[in-house]
Structure 1
């Protein structure tokens, strides 16, 4: 007995193709899982980046609000703010507690050079002698008039910001615009470490804010300002220890803050993600270079795709090993069958014993193959439990759940195959045990109950009322045909099955007709072969053994079974069956 299917090393091309397709699905699942993890990690980076940028923008907005409240204070006093008034106002704001990033909070007055003596006298009358410094050749002066906390920055009082370009141009720019603005990078007078900083200005005018540039220039009275050293500003914004990203800030060509250098233990020389963000920060463009750190890498590593790949490969190895065992068993069975065939041609009297031995061998081989199948199912359960210990319940891990569902479906299918093979090998072993007579009406009633359909869906037309020959296998043949008709019907509730039995003397002609989708003529011979199925993707699983069992049971009595059908027109299966026990074909042994 030779197989028409090509083989490679004992395993059929079909089996190898199935294993390769399954391996491709495993790799595909790994790549998809890896892609999903990468997307999730990238989204976490963007969230951390947006959170960092949002904190900077929000905190600067809060500083702006504080400065405008200072302008409102000055306007409320009609520009006649005194040193004590400013101190009281600054204390009410709780500058150090609410605005920890600001070094100082004060007022810079705009003074024409001719008006300076009168301005100096008024300020000196409020407290310590007031003197503007350093000297410069501008037509106007911009001395720091009030500052808080004053006790820490006494030397800054009187400092004339008109002497320095960045400070002066920042004041003149907001004078004309009337909007809040920051200066370019500067080094604060009180900062001995020469750390990059900037001033944050909001303007105030005599008689309230004018609506035109000319009016603003004519009525400009000064600015409320805050001085910032950038590292202290960032420290006030957000703690390094609470961030998974590091960043630097560049204003023009000058880096005013940098977390990418130094001795930071969490610095990642090869960050997983990085991005550059440009912020329009009150008249200046701040460029933020944001990168992930080691904490981000540690918290966003995932072994899930690797576990999926390893688990899939282990299962592929087990499945391939199982196929090899099946192929070896099949070769041994075929070799044994060929040897028995040679012997039986010489000694026909040993035919029944030889057939029984072959059937027992196939039965035992199929039974033994169920052990590794159960092992695969057990391994799938163990891997799923291990994953749950690592990641917790897998209800939200749809990819992993789908993989385990597929594994269990394949295990169930392998169990169905081995059961089918065992049943196929035992055709004919029940005749001695089966009752000699089977009423047909009782048979149909049993089918209705077992399948769970309406009695009117199965109609019986018979010229005999009982089956007296091999009733067990007759029941199995008819039941298989009826079950298939319902199983593959597009609408089982609308299925109609007609069973017709004609008495032709020594044999019965039996036909089972349904109103299903039918079978294309090119597949009529193929459907009776072992492991052949015409199942489509959305239809129920099939082992491809059912009709092979039907064919073997019919051929055991020296007859055959055929099908008449075309697509969309239903199918009619027809076979013959002995009418009495003595009618078995004398050539049955040779056919079997």
Structure 2
């Protein structure tokens, strides 16, 4: 008792330690899973923001480049109309048509030798006409002028606040004729119109956007966004690029805070539930172990009793088999003696005239002793089914049936046909021979003597079994006796009119059931008997 109490106390301590370790591991695992899930949610938000950013970037690039194409058109005009008088005459009309379908073009300027002589529109730009761009340029503009003179490519200034008012971008490109500097083409773009065309006239409902010059000053959106690990795509320009940033309205972590709160509550609830189930399972396991120990002891006792019973049964079966053998031997000996005595009596009296009654009595003695011997053999065969090891061999069923028919020696008025497709299978040939011998023998024995007898044996393949059918056109059996004929010592004909022992179909049924098959009988009086049974393709009992 003390030892059991000590074991129980030790097991309780073990359960406590295991439970505590499980709680710690569970908490750590849940934190890792929650962190992983949070990162997954943030990636989903980033995918959404990236998709929106890509669309805005594409729209912004298209809006800017469409306006840069206008400056290229202005340069093409100077190449096409080289006479200054003609250029002055057609400039306003050309410039108006050039910007007619594009909003946000504040000013177009052609400056031969750097002097702004052609300006569109005139209104609001009167102070520009006649000024020399090189001398009036701001310091940051001079650097851009030098770059376009040396590269002969378009350069940009801004975006910044324009002197004329508003927020704009200035694009310039030097014009050369015959390798000589001819002048400048300038375009002032209203950035608010460009941003509006790109859908950036207002921030997104859930997304913030910011634009800045490469590594420079932010000219659109919140400058703080660039400090919050935003997604950034470049907007390519003729001589540089802008950095276009996007991020959630709040931080990435805050953007998934609501979902994570729900998941954490759900996760911790599940963890508590699992820990409760674990604790219950541990307690239940201990209770179960205790019950198993008790039950194991009981089963051990029952097992000993069962082993003893099996030993007794085996001994009883051995005694029964010996008894059946000895009994059959001892019973056959006097039967054979009676047969011999009847023959000797008939031989001794052969020189005397025997009455018909005496001859009949002597014949009955021999027939009854023969039937008694058959009955003893049948009982012995029945007792051995399932108790002896069977020899399994390759059986040609068609050949086996032909042998059975030859042994039965049917009379000439009985025609027996064997159907096609008789199989070869692995089975015990002796037991299969007994089945067909009994069924075909019954067909011969109980034929209708008023007509020619017909017996057919057919087979059908049923996956793991073969279904055999033995059918005759004999006297038939009344349906009320269909079950009775399978009983021990059951015959439908009177004993004095039939030599049947009444054990044949009993043996047939037991053999078939021992092999895992089934047997069925179909018959009507005067319409013959049809017996159907199944037999396994491979027997391994």
Specify the TM-score bucket, using the shorter chain as the normaliser: 0.3 to 0.5
TM-score by length of 2: 0.44
TM-score by length of 1: 0.41
